[in-house]
Structure 1
Amino acid sequence: MTYLVNDSADFVDESIEGFVAANADLVRRVHGGVVRATRTPPGQVAVVIGGGSGHYPAFAGLVGQGLAHGAAMGNIFASPSAQQIYSVARAAASDAGVLLSFGNYAGDVLNFGIAEERLKADGIPCRCFAVTDDVCSGPADKAGERRGIAGDLTVFRAAALAAAEGKSLDAVHDFASHANDRTRSFGVAFSGCTLPGASEPLFTVPESRMGVGMGIHGEQGIEEVDMPRADDLADMLVDRLLGERPNDNQRAASPRVGVMLNGLGSVKYEELFVLYRRVSQRLEQAGLTVVQPEVGELVTSFEMAGVSLTLFWLDDALEAAWTAPATTPAYRRGGVPLEGEPRDADDFAAIHEQAAPPSSEASRSDAAGVLAVIEAIQARIEAEADDLGKLDAISGDGDHGIGMTTGTRAALAAARRAVEKGCGAGTVLTRAGDAWANEAGGTSGALWGLGLRCVGTAIGDSDSVAAAAVVQGIRDATDAIMRLGGADIGDKTMLDAMQPFANALAEQVEAGTCLREAWRHAAKHSEQAAAATAALKPRKGRAKNHSEKSVGHADPGAVSFAMIVASTATTLESIHEDVT
């Protein structure tokens, strides 16, 4: 369990605040995470990493000379929001652009992808790379679908060296990909972990048993076996990874490998050394030369008991990256002189201008109507949060209700501030969407933040809300969510309720129906489509690993979407629709 907590809602912020205070010579805090204490030199690509909090030293502990330029950190085990990633990347970026790198999880892929698009729109070159080293999370012929676990360090190190050498953004990306292709990890778990403020563990493993291939958030593994002796576990880890040796033309007569034996939180150093004793023997017997092994806590999961082994198959370039000097709060190798100019207060000025942009009187009038809509959404989600959580727990992790509540509360607060400042209707929606994504994090936060931003952009601040603009915004949101989220109709996601709504709304408006009536009609289609997801098996997200459990139960994301558009229908009369 987590012993030292003030308020669980403040845990992440207070942890980051303490981390920065303890490492002020190396890092500075920015909205959404941390960056190096020195500016990124001109011409050097900034490597920005990130993921959910709760995995220290990943990700903040890896920011410093010779490694990452910045780290975006989300809530516990939740992806950072696109806004957090964008903010950290803006603070770290130089003229050479930004490489965003992270583990291959749905929420991270979505949020980092959205941030990439926003950075490019600002004229900042940017590329994303997702680490896929976990051999138990997918077959070798579908390695691109695997999770990223402790092996992300090898990819981050490779990207950092390429960046420090002044290579282009594309070259940095390609070298990171090369490192990922030659990194393999395999993990096991003996017990679960308890989140800050929670009374029960997030997941459990039966006493004297071991989950093989479990993820760092408790994701389902490939089997459960009796707890082995340390030597037997070492043999299991090494044998599986040797069986996944990269099949290429770079095998040397005496292959060289970087090795990481990682403790997930409760397995401490002395135990890890017992395990590594046998690991090193087996690798030597296999004819491998171990280069600068790492034994310790590299990617953790609170007090989760478990370990993972990573093999990094080296060539000359990758060995240079693996052995290069680095100085970060949690990872040090060699000595690296600080480079770049010291940061000052101007480096941390707000990236986004929060003053009200120009708007028409008609749009400002409709802004009050938009606020009423968001108030109705927040009230409906607040009332339904427990049921949404129970529905999500059937095949997911049960946090959908909490995430939606956090997001709608933040959206409402941001909308109120925007109205008070005299913003137009479009800005009220975009700021509400950004706040939703920023505070809720995870997949649902990213999707709703993206959706509101698309609709707000389409509506704009120049005129009264027009039905055609709303339809275009809904279409843009649907297309963006499908493109960036990677889901399609029939995958049992929010899209299964969203696309029928978008189609019905467009059909009605194009036929001349007023927005209020068209919306009510489309909301009914959405409700029916959400209910119909009960018959589907999930093909995306965490629920896909428990697909049979979810059959007979509607998708939580589709259900919450239908709830929101239904509650919106009752408040649209407060918006003065422009029918021209």
Structure 2
Amino acid sequence: MTRLFNEPSAFADEMIEGFVASHGRWVRRVPGGVARSTRSTPGSVALVIGGGSGHYPAFAGLVGQGLAHGAAMGNLFASPSAQQVYNVAKAADNGGGILLGYGNYAGDVLHFTQAQDKLRAEGIDCRSIAVTDDISSAPLAEKHKRRGIAGDLTVFKVAAAAAEAGYPLDAVVGIAERANERTRSFGVAFTGCTLPGAPEPLFTVPAGRMAVGMGIHGEPGIGETGIPTADELAELLVKDLLAEVPDGLQIQGARVVPILNGLGSVKYEELFVLYRRVAQLLAEAGIIAVDPQVGELVTSFDMAGTSLTLFWLDPELEQLWLAPADAPAFRRGAVTAEALDADELTAAAEQLTVIPDASDESKASATAVLAALHAAKAVIDANVAELGRIDAIAGDGDHGIGMERGIHAATAAAADAVERGAGAGTVLELAADAWADKAGGTSGALWGMALRAVGHAVGNTERPTAQAVAAGVAEAKRSIMDFGKAKVGDKTLVDVLAPFSDALTAAVTDGSRLRDAWGTAAAVAEQAAEATATLLPLMGRARPHAEKSLGTPDAGAVSMALIIRAIHNTLTDTTVTTLLKENA
């Protein structure tokens, strides 16, 4: 279990603060994560990596000369927001283009893609590589669906070395893609992990059993078995990895980097016992082991488990893998680095957001928006534990915590914006940015998109009408379904958002006032949330847990229905409704 913490909600920020304080020779704090504190070559490609916190040395431990230029650091087990990724990328940019690298998880894909789009809109050439090394998470025919685990290291290391050597962006991307295609990993776990302040682990493995193929957030693999001896486990890992050799390669005579990774609680001495047999098996197969790595490289807090990665080299990849690097958690060879000066170290300080002009009517309506957010905050605070419990059945159990972080940040941002004279549209848009930034994960991205869509629809010139609000909700539905690719029936928040939006639009079109139309649609949302209990999840981390989730509603659908009803309660308050322009 995690023993040392203050406020659980502050753990990630305090961890980053301590990491930077103890590793200032390599990194500096920037909004959203860390960047090199040393000078990079002007005009070179910048590699920006990232993901949720809780996996150290990934990702911040890999920032330094010869490795990444920056790391976007999300909350615990939650992807960094698009704004965090963007901020880190801007701080790391050397003028030669940016490559974003991350594990293939839904939240990471959403946020890094949004950041990529924003960087491209500014004229910065930006590409992405999603690592897909975990063979247990999808069959070879669906390799694009596989998770990224300890294979992150091989892809990031060679891509970074190529960037350091002056390769142009196209070539760096090609190296990263080739490394990803030549990297295979397989892991097991003996116990789950416990987040700071949590009373119990996110997931459990039955006593005396071993989960085979489990992911680094507790995602299931291909089953369970009794705990083997170290030699038996080595034979299992090597056998399964050698059953899937990258296209065009032969086992006999192949040069391979083996990486035996500890997930948090397996001691180094145990890993050495295990690697002893791994090395024997690789040699017996005719494989030449190049620069073996044994230790903690991609962890999962205090999870007891291990994974084996095989990185199949060619001459260029081997040269890049062996190139010098100097990062807090990965060092080899001699690297010459020049520290940034004091002004450069503080150049990425956050700046106060400028508040656009707004009409008096819109400023008055911003108070109603803030009241709705406060109501949403209260209902999430009251249900955070239950949302976590529901999510733990089919996912990783962090939905309640993520929603709590998101709505708290959104409400604080909205209150500040109202205090500074913002209109309703701006209040919603700043709340959206804060929610996505602090919540992270897939739900953070989607709620950010939803609030932003409604904010754009209501604008800053008039009091929000029922038609404008309904149009904003409809746009939120469209953009979320387009971007997240979920549809009704996939057991996600879309199963609530879509029927709610349709019912709201229909009621407003029929002439209902906003509060009445919202109330009718809220009842539809609640029924839709309950109905998700009968569905099998087809998206995100819950997908592999499909059978376990039957009989339990989707956590994202439930939280959306709770917030919709809480907002309706503010609309029935005459103090609030006088601030909104109702239909006759």
TM range (shorter): over 0.9
Is the contact between residue 209 and residue 227 of structure 2 (CA under 8 Å) also seen in structure 1?
yes
Q: Distance in 2 between matches of 1:317 and 1:539?
A: 39
Stretch deviating more after TM superposition (382-391 or 541-550): 382-391
Match of 1:148 in 2: 148
Deviation per CA, 1:53-78: give whole Å up to 9, x if none.
11111111000111111111122222
Q: For residue 257 of structure 1, report the CA deviation from its aligned partner.
A: 1.0
Task: Kindly provide the amino acid, as one letter, of the partner of residue 449 in structure 2.
Answer: L
Is the contact between residue 355 and residue 421 of structure 1 (CA under 8 Å) also seen in structure 2?
no
Q: For residue 460 of structure 1, report the CA deviation from its aligned partner.
A: 2.6
Q: Distance in 2 between matches of 1:10 and 1:504?
A: 39
Q: Please show how residues 186-205 of structure 1 align to structure 2 within 5 Å.
A: 186-205=186-205
Gaps of 5+ in 1: none
Q: For residue 149 of structure 1, report the CA deviation from its aligned partner.
A: 0.6
Match of 2:574 in 1: none
Is the contact between residue 39 and residue 92 of structure 1 (CA under 8 Å) also seen in structure 2?
no
Q: Distance in 1 between matches of 2:369 and 2:261?
A: 49
Match of 1:208 in 2: 208
Deviation per CA, 1:141-173: give whole Å up to 9, x if none.
111111111011111112212322444444433
Match of 2:434 in 1: 435
2:366 counterpart of 1:362: no
* Identical columns (%): 59
Q: Distance in 1 between matches of 2:368 and 2:190?
A: 53
Q: Distance in 2 between matches of 1:46 and 1:467?
A: 47
Is the contact between residue 208 and residue 227 of structure 2 (CA under 8 Å) also seen in structure 1?
yes
Task: Kindly provide the amino acid, as one letter, of the partner of residue 357 in structure 2.
Answer: P
Stretch deviating more after TM superposition (326-335 or 344-353): 344-353
Match of 1:256 in 2: 255
Is the contact between residue 87 and residue 351 of structure 1 (CA under 8 Å) also seen in structure 2?
no
Match of 2:241 in 1: 241
Stretch deviating more after TM superposition (346-355 or 90-99): 346-355
Stretch deviating more after TM superposition (153-162 or 505-514): 505-514
Q: For residue 308 of structure 1, report the CA deviation from its aligned partner.
A: 0.9
Stretch deviating more after TM superposition (553-562 or 147-156): 553-562
Match of 1:577 in 2: 581
Number of aligned positions between the proteins: 579
Q: Distance in 2 between matches of 1:475 and 1:95?
A: 39
Is the contact between residue 251 and residue 287 of structure 2 (CA under 8 Å) also seen in structure 1?
no
Task: Kindly provide the amino acid, as one letter, of the partner of residue 581 in structure 2.
Answer: E
Q: Please show how residues 382-421 of structure 1 align to structure 2 within 5 Å.
A: 382-421=381-420
Stretch deviating more after TM superposition (421-430 or 351-360): 351-360
Task: Kindly provide the amino acid, as one letter, of the partner of residue 108 in structure 1.
Answer: D
Match of 1:130 in 2: 130
Q: Distance in 1 between matches of 2:121 and 2:524?
A: 35
Task: Kindly provide the amino acid, as one letter, of the partner of residue 330 in structure 1.
Answer: A
Counterpart secondary structure, 2:221: coil
Q: For residue 510 of structure 1, report the CA deviation from its aligned partner.
A: 4.3
Deviation per CA, 1:61-120: give whole Å up to 9, x if none.
000111111111122222222222222122112333322211112222222223223333
Q: Distance in 1 between matches of 2:564 and 2:191?
A: 41
Match of 2:423 in 1: 424
Match of 1:463 in 2: 462
Stretch deviating more after TM superposition (354-363 or 250-259): 250-259
Q: Distance in 2 between matches of 1:214 and 1:499?
A: 33
Q: For residue 251 of structure 1, report the CA deviation from its aligned partner.
A: 4.5
Stretch deviating more after TM superposition (435-444 or 471-480): 471-480
Q: Distance in 2 between matches of 1:170 and 1:478?
A: 36
Q: Please show how residues 94-173 of structure 1 align to structure 2 within 5 Å.
A: 94-173=94-173
* Structure 1 residues 570 and 29: alpha-carbon distance in aligned structure 2, compared to 1, 3 A threshold: same
Q: Distance in 2 between matches of 1:369 and 1:493?
A: 28
Q: For residue 458 of structure 1, report the CA deviation from its aligned partner.
A: 3.0
* Structure 1 residues 82 and 574: alpha-carbon distance in aligned structure 2, compared to 1, 3 A threshold: farther
Task: Kindly provide the amino acid, as one letter, of the partner of residue 518 in structure 2.
Answer: W
2:65 counterpart of 1:46: no
Q: Distance in 2 between matches of 1:421 and 1:346?
A: 30
Task: Kindly provide the amino acid, as one letter, of the partner of residue 48 in structure 2.
Answer: V
Is the contact between residue 264 and residue 304 of structure 2 (CA under 8 Å) also seen in structure 1?
yes
Deviation per CA, 1:415-439: give whole Å up to 9, x if none.
1111111111111111111222222
Q: Distance in 1 between matches of 2:23 and 2:346?
A: 18
Task: Kindly provide the amino acid, as one letter, of the partner of residue 443 in structure 2.
Answer: S
Task: Kindly provide the amino acid, as one letter, of the partner of residue 65 in structure 1.
Answer: Q
Q: Distance in 2 between matches of 1:152 and 1:193?
A: 21
2:478 counterpart of 1:479: yes
Counterpart secondary structure, 1:135: coil
Is the contact between residue 46 and residue 69 of structure 2 (CA under 8 Å) also seen in structure 1?
yes
Stretch deviating more after TM superposition (382-391 or 278-287): 382-391
Give the structure-1-normalised TM-score: 0.93
* Structure 1 residues 72 and 365: alpha-carbon distance in aligned structure 2, compared to 1, 3 A threshold: same
Counterpart secondary structure, 1:292: coil
Match of 1:381 in 2: 380
Task: Kindly provide the amino acid, as one letter, of the partner of residue 333 in structure 1.
Answer: R
* Structure 1 residues 30 and 530: alpha-carbon distance in aligned structure 2, compared to 1, 3 A threshold: same
Match of 1:488 in 2: 487
Stretch deviating more after TM superposition (564-573 or 152-161): 564-573
Is the contact between residue 435 and residue 447 of structure 2 (CA under 8 Å) also seen in structure 1?
yes
Counterpart secondary structure, 2:68: coil
* Structure 1 residues 441 and 574: alpha-carbon distance in aligned structure 2, compared to 1, 3 A threshold: farther
Counterpart secondary structure, 2:210: strand
Deviation per CA, 1:264-309: give whole Å up to 9, x if none.
1222222222222221221122111222111111111222221111
* Structure 1 residues 168 and 426: alpha-carbon distance in aligned structure 2, compared to 1, 3 A threshold: farther
Q: Distance in 2 between matches of 1:53 and 1:279?
A: 30
Q: Distance in 2 between matches of 1:207 and 1:560?
A: 33
Counterpart secondary structure, 2:427: helix
Task: Kindly provide the amino acid, as one letter, of the partner of residue 577 in structure 1.
Answer: K
Give the structure-2-normalised TM-score: 0.93
Counterpart secondary structure, 2:429: helix
Q: For residue 489 of structure 1, report the CA deviation from its aligned partner.
A: 1.6
Q: Distance in 1 between matches of 2:194 and 2:521?
A: 42
Match of 1:550 in 2: 549
Match of 1:85 in 2: 85
Stretch deviating more after TM superposition (443-452 or 465-474): 465-474
* Structure 1 residues 6 and 530: alpha-carbon distance in aligned structure 2, compared to 1, 3 A threshold: closer
Counterpart secondary structure, 1:137: coil
* Structure 1 residues 472 and 527: alpha-carbon distance in aligned structure 2, compared to 1, 3 A threshold: same
Match of 2:526 in 1: 527
Is the contact between residue 28 and residue 35 of structure 2 (CA under 8 Å) also seen in structure 1?
yes
Q: For residue 443 of structure 1, report the CA deviation from its aligned partner.
A: 2.0
Deviation per CA, 1:375-409: give whole Å up to 9, x if none.
12222222333433333333233332332222222
Counterpart secondary structure, 1:129: strand
Q: Distance in 2 between matches of 1:515 and 1:434?
A: 25
Q: Distance in 1 between matches of 2:198 and 2:531?
A: 34
Q: Distance in 1 between matches of 2:359 and 2:162?
A: 49
Task: Kindly provide the amino acid, as one letter, of the partner of residue 569 in structure 1.
Answer: H
Q: Distance in 2 between matches of 1:512 and 1:124?
A: 47
Q: Please show how residues 300-319 of structure 1 align to structure 2 within 5 Å.
A: 300-319=299-318
Counterpart secondary structure, 1:52: strand
Q: Please show how residues 298-337 of structure 1 align to structure 2 within 5 Å.
A: 298-337=297-336
Q: For residue 208 of structure 1, report the CA deviation from its aligned partner.
A: 3.5
Q: Distance in 2 between matches of 1:122 and 1:531?
A: 43
Q: For residue 123 of structure 1, report the CA deviation from its aligned partner.
A: 3.6
Counterpart secondary structure, 2:147: coil
Q: Distance in 2 between matches of 1:503 and 1:168?
A: 48
Q: Distance in 2 between matches of 1:554 and 1:94?
A: 47
Q: For residue 579 of structure 1, report the CA deviation from its aligned partner.
A: 7.0
Counterpart secondary structure, 2:120: helix
Q: Distance in 2 between matches of 1:500 and 1:363?
A: 28
Stretch deviating more after TM superposition (447-456 or 119-128): 119-128
Deviation per CA, 1:181-203: give whole Å up to 9, x if none.
11000111122223223343333
Q: Distance in 1 between matches of 2:173 and 2:479?
A: 24
Is the contact between residue 116 and residue 127 of structure 1 (CA under 8 Å) also seen in structure 2?
yes
RMSD in angstroms over aligned alpha carbons?
2.4
Stretch deviating more after TM superposition (406-415 or 115-124): 115-124
Q: Distance in 2 between matches of 1:252 and 1:497?
A: 51
Match of 2:227 in 1: 227
Q: For residue 578 of structure 1, report the CA deviation from its aligned partner.
A: 8.1
Gaps of 5+ in 2: 572-576
Counterpart secondary structure, 1:94: coil
